Structure 1
Amino acid sequence: MNETIQLEAIVPESLAGKRLDQILAELFPDYSRSRMKKWITEGKVSVDAQVIEKPREKLELGALVAIDAELEREERYQAQPIELDIVYEDDDIFIINKPAGLVVHPGAGAPDGTLLNGLLHYDPDIDHVPRAGIIHRLDKDTTGLMVVARNIPAQTQLVDMMQKREITREYEAVCNGVMTAGGMVDEPIGRHPTKRTHMAVVSTGKPAVTHYRVMERFRAHTLLRLRLESGRTHQIRVHMSHIRHPLVGDLTYGGRPRPPKQASDEFLASLRGFNRQALHAAKLSLHHPISGDWMSFEAPRPDDFVALIQSMKDDLEAHSHP
């Protein structure tokens, strides 16, 4: 069953003369502008009992605006019992620590068995929220923190916060090569011109900014802390590859094993056995979308990430003495 939405309001003096879609966004802020526009064009909105299907229609003071619409459930996705590492939950949001190997959203190659399917099983009511409340994604083999909305008001607010860069996301990554200092990559990212499943730095892409600083240096690798200003697909992976420091294990963007000279067999095995990009969403900070309270969460490095870093420390130690 879909959820029926019935809302009414009188146009106040402060909104008189404005467009219908603008007025609805102001009067009913729990719902996104794009959703309001869709309801208007579908004939779900009336003004003084007359259906209006033009978002740009201007309204007068005192007009009675009414919405009679339905929130569609995510019918096409099935609930599945998938283990979720829930760091925090309340009535409005989840904070989830995603493991490597878990796809966030169904798509080509992963029709089910995803985080979304697990969310629908854990919280059946979340099927009222578009994409089961998922407002940002992590790649299948990237680990770490994500925020998920449990209702429409929280989702609307979180999407707005994400667009305004009010949600801080910090990552840890191990890249190939020894970096001398931190810095920033400010390069647009778009679809690769010939490899359609890859992203790339392209002049026609969307703006993307990645800040990074050096946490630790090894003989042939560097542990980094990174912060995103934008959230493009594969952003960190593409940007680090662009500056010739691709992430360890990221074969898509050039991160094949590059061991230092005279590396031990154990270290070589550790490098070759790390079969995903070495990227972890370590910290997530935001104002709660409903209460406004400041919240900050950290996820420990996963075991394989810890083991990779330790092998690099051991290699450095073994070669630091004459």
Structure 2
Amino acid sequence: MWERILNYTITEQKTSNIHEFLKAHGYSSSLIRAIKEDPEGIRLNGEPVLARTLLTPGDQLAIRITETKFSENIVPSDLPLSIVYEDPDLLVINKPAGMPIHPSQGNYDNTLANACAWYFKEKGEPFVYRCINRLDRDTTGLLIIARHLYSASLLSAMMARREIHREYLALATGIVPEDGIITAPIARKEGSTIERMVDFKHGEYACTHYRRLSITTTDPVYSLVALKLDTGRTHQIRVHMNYIGHPLPGDFLYNPDYSHISRQALHSHHLRFRHPITGEEMHFTAPVPEDMLL
């Protein structure tokens, strides 16, 4: 069993019970139920208590979150795993190219989930795979793994509120304008399960901000571009850059030109967010991969 103890000093003047306190702090109903079923799940001033116990200012509340299981159907595999940051609540991973993040048909034991399962198996710790922000198989860079159900719930809510700020770097074909905003709705391409397209009639709103950083001095010409997303549509950067006439090289769906790079030239470069438990401001940067260097 693995456990995480979260301690609170009660300062609220308004009387509430522990159940109400936990709900107000983002604990899900299922997690509260699991905590209540644990004889050591709730301690108030050092003593085990029930969730209906009233709180008063100055009380010391300790909540125990446990992990006892491994993710089902995820086979531990000894794969490269670049951990940029780890604490009891989350991990930040720098994902390599060619690695899917979830097992699927044809990708049973070669994914980031398999690598994480191996890592925690070697540590002798139970682990359930909870990936917060997703990257395509061939996109490199930073993503967040939640260590337990509470941090997963908080981080997922932060993603929905756009409180996890991500910056991408991409190589784009040609000379991209110095900066700009692309607001073009994106929809699934008819007849395809994975391909997307700009569709002003049926598409969902999508907004991408871009800024050119540099240009190659050789032929063919590529631009290194920094991008931030206001929305998170599938393949958004790849579709939007293709739409403005500057597709990413190596993109098998939208620009299968492999003369410079063998995969889509897209990298999750920077993450910024507040730690879901401590509130600390977190910043992480992953260097540009060698195959994207101009």
Mark yes or no: TM-score above 0.5. Answer: yes
Q: Identify if the C-alpha distance between structure 1 residues 189 and 298 changes in structure 2 by more than 3 Å, giving closer, same or farther.
A: same
Whose Rg is larger? 1
Indicate if the aligned counterparts of 2:100 and 2:137 stay in contact, CA closer than 8 A.
yes
CA distance in 2, matches of 1:111, 1:135: 20
Residue number in structure 2 paired with 1:127? 127
Instruction: Give the 3-state SS of the residue equivalent to 1:139 in structure 2.
Output: coil
Residue number in structure 2 paired with 1:241? 242
Residue number in structure 1 paired with 2:10? none
Shift in Å, 1:273 = 4.9
Unaligned runs of 5+ in 2: 4-13, 37-50, 54-66
Q: 1:186-212: per-residue Cα shift (whole Å, max 9, x none)?
A: 223232212222122234343322110
Indicate if the aligned counterparts of 1:126 and 1:133 stay in contact, CA closer than 8 A.
no
Indicate if the aligned counterparts of 2:101 and 2:134 stay in contact, CA closer than 8 A.
yes
Of the candidates 155, 166, 174, which is equivalent to residue 169 of structure 1? 166
Residue number in structure 1 paired with 2:252? 251
Shift in Å, 1:244 = 1.7
Matched, 1:283 2:270: yes
Matched, 1:294 2:281: yes
Instruction: Give the 3-state SS of the residue equivalent to 1:83 in structure 2.
Output: coil
Unaligned runs of 5+ in 1: 4-12, 16-22, 40-44, 46-62, 258-270, 310-322
Q: Identify if the C-alpha distance between structure 1 residues 25 and 245 changes in structure 2 by more than 3 Å, giving closer, same or farther.
A: farther
Indicate if the aligned counterparts of 1:119 and 1:126 stay in contact, CA closer than 8 A.
no
Indicate if the aligned counterparts of 1:182 and 1:214 stay in contact, CA closer than 8 A.
yes
Q: 1:245-294: per-residue Cα shift (whole Å, max 9, x none)?
A: 110111311x244xxxxxxxxxxxxx615110111111111111111100
TM-score in terms of structure 1 length? 0.68
Matched, 1:188 2:185: yes
Instruction: Give the 3-state SS of the residue equivalent to 2:259 in structure 1.
Output: helix
Alignment root-mean-square deviation, CA? 3.3
- Equivalence map 1:12-51=2 (5 Å): 26=23, 29-31=26-28
Matched, 1:201 2:190: no
TM-score in terms of structure 2 length? 0.74
Indicate if the aligned counterparts of 2:69 and 2:126 stay in contact, CA closer than 8 A.
no
The structure in which a higher percent of residues are helix is: 1
Residue number in structure 1 paired with 2:58? none
Q: 1:181-239: per-residue Cα shift (whole Å, max 9, x none)?
A: 31111223232212222122234343322110111123632110101122222111111
Q: Identify if the C-alpha distance between structure 1 residues 180 and 293 changes in structure 2 by more than 3 Å, giving closer, same or farther.
A: same
Indicate if the aligned counterparts of 1:282 and 1:298 stay in contact, CA closer than 8 A.
yes
Q: 1:150-177: per-residue Cα shift (whole Å, max 9, x none)?
A: 1111111110111111111111111112
